[in-house]
Structure 1
Amino acid sequence: MKTFIDKVDNVYEAYLIGKINEYDIDQNSEEGNGFLKVEDGYTLKMMKYNNCPESKESFTLSVNYNGTLANIKSNGFYYKSTDCIIY
């Protein structure tokens, strides 16, 4: 998929690179959803979800124009519960 995208030239492709690397968008929280266009690509705020115990961890990451992830930083957990979500 990354090869198909080639040059990342919009935020949707940047989010897709994050998704390919197991990050996700939290549509209900600014802690897991946001972006900033920067000189060499995009800085994204995304999250990782765990279902047992249910938790969401916020990350800030950079996606440059060639699709490389860099500067991955955890911003900590913004949601934690003791419940397990079983599918």
Structure 2
Amino acid sequence: MAFETRHLVKALFDSTTVEAELMGVAALGDVEITATRSAWNGVLWLIQSTVKEGGRPLYSGEELAKLRTDLPIRWS
């Protein structure tokens, strides 16, 4: 199953979505989710633009890189 930016956003920010459920199934190894680097870049832009504290991004580059690595997604 191929995820686009919109699917990644739903999976990461709303646990009640089908996308979040699929992410859980992928974590168990029962399905494979693929996504492009540009889809991830869209998620990064959203997080860095909206999730802020005191006007500064809440997450560091290292934390976001770890999130990407921890997701059950094959990146292309």
**Which one scores higher on RCO, CA 8 angstroms, separation ≥ 6?**
2
The structure number with the bigger radius of gyration is 1
Normalising by structure 1, what TM-score? 0.27
Structure with the larger helix share: 2
Q: TM-score, normalised by structure 2?
A: 0.29
